[in-house]
Amino acid sequence: MKRIFLVEDDKEIARNLALLLHGEGFSVTCARTRQEAVELLSENRFELALVDISLPDGSGFAICTEIRQTQDMPVIFLTASGDEASVVTGLNMGADDYVTKPFRPRELIARIQAALRKNAHAPSIFEIGNLRVDTAAGIVKKGDREVFLSALEYRLLLVFLGSRGGILTRDRLLDELWDAAGEFVNNNTLTVYIKRLREKIEEDPAAPRIILTVRGTGYRLGGNDVSE
């Protein structure tokens, strides 16, 4: 039975989440404060953490840092904030994903299962040409220079990395990005974010070699990607 570490100060939300997770076959240990979470982390091992960003005695970011220093498990942030800066901060600290409250129960379960699968066998470092992506640390580098991506741009890049060798249709990308950064993603905004991502990671955005267009179908990851 997979053990989930839930850090959530709202008793009602914590209770409903625990019931949902128990119903899916997970074991749940809950903490309501930063101090309680740190104590539980020192005494227990878990497979995944669900962490609320806003806590009564501190930030969920501090808990993410503690987890990264002591345990190897995916971290998914729970946030009621539409502040993209908070989401980017969490991803750059090494969080694997985030879900904005109120969230859809089935979507949350799907994200948990996806994070557990990726943690079980996926590499954490990808190299495509001179682009290097460290998903464990949430760092993207182009040569020796760090590239700063928005939350949606980073998530879009992770979707491509997770689908190496396959073609991603626009519908599939829209499904993956449907509520990233708390904003609605449609075909027009998807085109804009593909363009922005290319401008940041490609040597020549007008002749992309990393995110390739498959005419009439969608996109695919190009280059000779090397994972470590």
Taking every pair of C-alpha atoms in the chain, what is the biggest distance, in angstroms? 54
Mean pLDDT to the nearest integer, 132-159: 86
pLDDT digits (tens, 9 = 90+) for 87-115: 777 777 778 888 888 888 888 998 898 88
Helix (H) or strand (E) holding 221: strand 218-221
Whether residue 11 sits in one domain with residue 108: yes
The pTM of this model reads: 0.54
Pairing of strands 54-55, 218-221: unpaired
Per-residue confidence band for 226, with pLDDT thresholds at 50, 70 and 90: very low
Q: Given this model, what pLDDT does residue 80 score?
A: 74
List the alpha helices (DSSP H) in the chain. Answer: 11-23, 34-43, 60-70, 84-92, 105-121, 151-161, 170-176, 187-201
Distance of CA 178 to the CA centre of its chain: 14
How many folded domains does the chain comprise?
2
- Please give the C-alpha separations between residue 11 and each of 6, 14, 82, 149, in angstroms, as whole numbers: 11, 5, 22, 34
Residues 29 and 15 in one domain: yes
Same-domain status, 104 and 64: yes
Same domain, 215 and 136: yes
**What range defines the domain where residue 187 resides?**
125-227
Domain with residue 34: its CATH number is 3.40.50.2300
DSSP per-residue letters across 63-85: HHHHHHHH----EEEEE----HH
Please check the confidence at residue 63 and state whether its pLDDT lies above 70. Answer: yes
Same domain, 42 and 129: no
Residues 86 and 145 in one domain: no
Which CATH number belongs to the domain containing residue 171 in this structure? 1.10.10.10
Are 145 and 114 members of one domain? no
Task: Point out the domain boundary residue: 84, 100, 121.
Answer: 121
Q: Is the pLDDT of residue 84 over 50?
A: yes
Q: Mean pLDDT of all residues in the chain?
A: 84
Mean pLDDT of 37-54: 90
Same domain flag for 13 and 95: yes
Last residue of a domain, one of 121, 149, 181: 121
The DSSP symbol for 136 reads T
Based on the fold, state whether residues 108 and 187 are members of the same structural domain: no
Q: What is the pLDDT of residues 148-200, one digit of tens each?
A: 988 788 888 888 887 777 788 888 888 767 644 445 678 888 899 999 999 99
With a pLDDT cut of 70, the percent of the chain lying above it is: 89
- pLDDT value, residue 204: 94
**Are 16 and 112 members of one domain?**
yes
Please report the pLDDT score of residue 7 as a whole number: 96
Give the type of residue at 3: R
The verdict on 138 and 200 lying in the same domain is yes
How much is the pLDDT for 192?
92
- Output the pLDDT for position 205: 93
What is the residue whose two structure tokens read 């990671």?
A: 201
Contact 14, 56 (CB under 8 A): no
Asked which of 5-14, 82-91, 120-129, 192-201 is least confident by mean pLDDT, the reply is 82-91
Choose the final residue of a domain: 68, 87, 121: 121
Alpha-helical runs (H) found in 122-161: 151-161
Residues 19 and 115 in one domain: yes
